[in-house]
Structure 1
Amino acid sequence: ASANAFKLLLENRPVWEEICADPSLIPNAVEECLRHSGSVAAWRRVATTDTRIGDVDIPAGAKLLVVNASANHDERHFDRPDEFDIRRPNSSDHLT
């Protein structure tokens, strides 16, 4: 995750300069780095019980691929989800 954060900050020099000028931005910048470019894109899981998510029935034993990278860029939850914004008010809502 830290390598991805360094890459984002190197690619976005004005953001780096903002953080240097105002270190109080660091906590939210870290959360936004994790949301935008987390180190783990997906997790494999096995459902332990029968469950239902939305309109989908998931039986116990079903193999799942939870793509948190996709969830972290869901436009229903994040305004301009593909934009790297260290001032995003809900940056910490990520699944990373």
Structure 2
Amino acid sequence: MPSEMIKFRVAAGEKLQFVNAAQNAGMTLSDLLRRAGKAAIAGRIASRPVLADLVHIRAMANHLDALCGVLGGDPAEIGAEIKSTAASMRAIAARHLAAGQ
């Protein structure tokens, strides 16, 4: 397979961070950067909004877990909380699925 070279500059010290990250992952620096580039092309970069959504999903999952432990709670109120949480999770999923198209 023919290949081409890409060169780019990084701030002082960043190259060592890239090299260390690659070594920690058990791959070469070129492999790490190719993988990151392919992830970016596929739209799989975890931007701040994505990370914020993941934190929100984790909080909602914790909330659902806490609801499961409620004894003697009002079933209608617990059901409403579950429906609300499910709707929020669907909205987050829809937003990210639409962005990937």
Normalised to the residue count of structure 1, the TM-score between the two structures is: 0.25
Greater fraction strand = 1
Q: Determine which structure has more spread, i.e. the larger CA radius of gyration.
A: 2
Normalised to the residue count of structure 2, the TM-score between the two structures is: 0.24
Q: Which has the higher contact order (CA 8 A, sep 6+)?
A: 1
